[in-house]
Structure 1
Amino acid sequence: MSILNIRNCLDPVLRKKCEPVKNIDGNLVALSNDMIETMFDSVGVGLAANQVGIPQRLIVVDFGFDAEKKEDHNPIIIVNPVITAAEEEQDGQEGCLSIPEIVADVPRFKRVEVKGVDLDGNDVRYEVEDYLARAFQHELDHLEGKLFWDMLGRTKRDILKRKFKKLLKEQGAE
């Protein structure tokens, strides 16, 4: 396994709608394992394949992640995930591995049902709420070419974009 390079929000791969996975093979399994290792190394809760430059419908989410303890990892992998039900909206703080050091309150559904396929080709279904519901919605947005700040008003989004570009400039990464 290896740590993959996480693309930042300026990379065009993050703005493209991802293609469905057609075959689950050794390459996809290896990619999934590398994504999990990358997510843990970056202290993230989820990661979409396009965040590491692969525009396919694949996500990993740390299902056992405890935000306060930052422990009890239980990563899950979902191929071709879709949200099939959602209810009750709530605002909550969100960040993104592709937009480091930037956070904002984002409206999301409190509860969602997500369906997809695991690496063995079996159908999977998860009913989650609160923090995990937010994580799933965030990662599925990535697969649609959306970033969390797209959910915000134009003024707030523009402020965050300027702040991010300033951070890049300060780090000499622009």
Structure 2
Amino acid sequence: MIREVITYPNKLLRTKSEDVMEFNEELHTLLDDMYETMVDQSGVGLAAIQVSIPLNILIISIPDENDVQNKEELIEAINPVITHKDGEQVFTEGCLSVPGFHEDVKRAQHIIVEYFNRNGEKQTMECEDFLAVAWQHEMEHLEGHLFIENLSFLKRKKFEKEWKRRLKDKKK
């Protein structure tokens, strides 16, 4: 089932998500719904909070060289924790909760993440480049943050002005 993706400035996006305690059918349904929603919205990642569920759950699906997202490659992460990060990279990011806006964000180049899969089995993943960016972006959502908070003061002010104008135009 495709769920509604909430957008900025919805206050729920500022909510710190809580750990998942039960790995059950309800969790599996949520993960499946999140995947359908992410693909429907042409995203590469989605945190549960973006579909109004304040739980430490995220999914990532990096398209292959033909721009296809294979479900077999889907990363489903429950209660993820970054245990190591180093290096630095700048990547142009967008967000399903801030549609139509893209900006350069500085992130760690290389990270190691520990998390649980849908069956409660502990996993470790080491990644870099775009996959590391996706992990860090989605994990910020779990802390109640958006990528726009990483912008410089001037870029943030410019964003706020453009966003308010866009919301105003939408109401007309």
| Fold shared by both chains (TM-score > 0.5) | yes
Partner of 1:8: 7
Report the TM-score, using the length of structure 1 for normalisation: 0.93
Cα deviation code 1:50-97 (max 9, x no counterpart)? 0000000000100x423x632142212110001111110111100100
Cα deviation code 1:5-35 (max 9, x no counterpart)? 0000111111011111111111111001000
Partner of 1:69: 66
**Aligned residue identity for 2:111:** V
Aligned-partner SS, 2:109 = strand
What's the offset of the Cα at 1:114? Answer: 1.0
CA distance in 1, matches of 2:18, 2:157: 29
Partner of 2:24: 25
> How many residues align structurally?
170
Compare 24-33 and 70-79 and name the one that shifted more. 70-79
Output aligned runs, 1:12-161, within 5 Å: 12-62=11-61, 64-66=62-64, 69-73=66-70, 74-161=73-160
Moved over 4 A (4+): none
Report the TM-score, using the length of structure 2 for normalisation: 0.94
CA distance in 2, matches of 1:145, 1:42: 21
CA distance in 2, matches of 1:34, 1:169: 31
Q: Indicate yes or no: 2:155 matched with 1:172.
A: no
Aligned-partner SS, 1:43 = coil
**Aligned residue identity for 1:7:** I
CA distance in 2, matches of 1:91, 1:99: 19
Cα deviation code 1:77-130 (max 9, x no counterpart)? 110001111110111100100000101100001111111100111001111111
Structure 1: 5+ residue stretches without partners: none
Instruction: Kindly report the root-mean-square deviation, in angstroms, between the aligned alpha carbons of the 2 structures.
Output: 1.4
CA distance in 2, matches of 1:88, 1:43: 29
CA distance in 2, matches of 1:164, 1:70: 29
CA distance in 2, matches of 1:111, 1:40: 26
